[in-house]
Amino acid sequence: MAIDAHQPGLRIVLYSHDSVGLGHTRRNLAIAHALSAALPALTGRRVSGLLITGERTATSYACPEGWDWVVMPGIAKGDAGYTPRTLNVGMSRLMGVRSAVIDAALRTFRPHVMLVDRHAFGVDGELRGPLERLKSERPQCQLVLGLRDVLDAPEVAQREWAGVGLERVTALFDQVWVYGDPAVHDGVKAGELPVELIEKIRFTGYLAQGRQARTTRRLQALEPYVVTMAGGGADGFELTARAAQAPVPTGYRHLIVTGPQMPAESRAEVRALAGERTEVRTTVPDGLACLRAASAAVVMGGYNTVCEALSTGTPTLVVPREVPRTEQLIRARSLHRRGAIDLLRQGEASPERLGAWLEAAVVREPAAVRTPREGLDTGGLARVVDYAQNLTSQPHREELNRVSA
């Protein structure tokens, strides 16, 4: 469909709170790229959007055309809960700033669709006021809660829903998108998703196929190589330290990517443990491109890294984090049962066992890796586009047309 210059453009906001890791922002960024690439042709409207994040390094990732970042002051997760990441102020003052930033962005940008990642009302309720005002002033705005495939152990998830206020979630949000394949893990049947939300829930499939990858030119000097990736890196020291000591398959190099949130002193320890055929880097230009070009990969069990692995034919060993949440372990077990990934518990992931797995993985037949993954629903990005198109078409189209840009 051709873009109709007389139609007002579609404005979309994607929010992520971001305290530990880059997963929330990377998930929203993948969705933004998918919407930007496909939605204009489907709706005949230009698409513009804001990516609201609490992770300042997120701006190193390129936005789609017509999108931009709104970066809130950062938070970190401590033993007693959330704390300011860098600002020397109290938590209540910090949350006031964050909430005010969000509120100002929503009231002036006036989105047609807003997608909230994982936490319905943000950190410490920072979204509650802004969302209520948005829905009051712009009832035509469609609010969507986006959830990863696995939340946590059922009892933990149920306590969180009780604390959030399920009645208010049901009243405010129009839909709930679950980024997973219910044939692999069904959060409703597992008891993680409340029955009160069933009518609003839409399973998308994993957000895997269709992710954009940049060049691997900077990695070509390493090829052939195996890779160990620790996501954002805040909790990746144990895995990367053991991987640094693992025997490297003959004829290969071992690339270890610690992530930008690993403390510098921890990264220095990992480098000190690495052998001559192992290289330790903070980041790579593109994680997906790195996984695609690798002969084998060892990763933690975060949603985005696992989705990227599922979109490749690279043999992948998942060593999931098990505290303070069991989400990664539940995900890894579910995918392991389907033969899509290999699984090793943290307590078992010695350098010797990691090295033995790498040695066997680099000679694995490609069909043995791809076939189990092809049986999964990995088309979540395309389905998100379909759902967004439905939200911005009849019966909402007439209202959207009425609202001026």
Instruction: Enumerate domains of the chain plus CATH numbers.
Output: 10-207+379-400 (3.40.50.2000), 217-374 (3.40.50.2000)
| The pLDDT of residue 61 | 86
Only one residue has tokens 């009849």, namely 394
Beta bridge partners of 148: 179
| The pLDDT of residue 8 | 79
Query: How far apart are alpha carbons 55 and 109 in whole angstroms?
Result: 21
Give me the residues of the chain with pLDDT under 70, please: 5-6, 20-21, 215-218, 221, 394-405
Beta bridge partners of 330: none
Cα Rg for the chain, rounded, in angstroms? 21
CA distances 259 to 232, 240, 256, 387, Å, are: 4, 10, 9, 33
| The pLDDT of residue 403 | 46
| The pLDDT of residue 330 | 98
Backbone angles phi, psi at 396, to 5 degrees: -90, -15
Query: How far apart are alpha carbons 51 and 31 in whole angstroms?
Result: 10
* Interval 279-315: pLDDT, tens: 999 999 889 999 999 999 999 999 999 999 999 999 9
| The pLDDT of residue 48 | 97
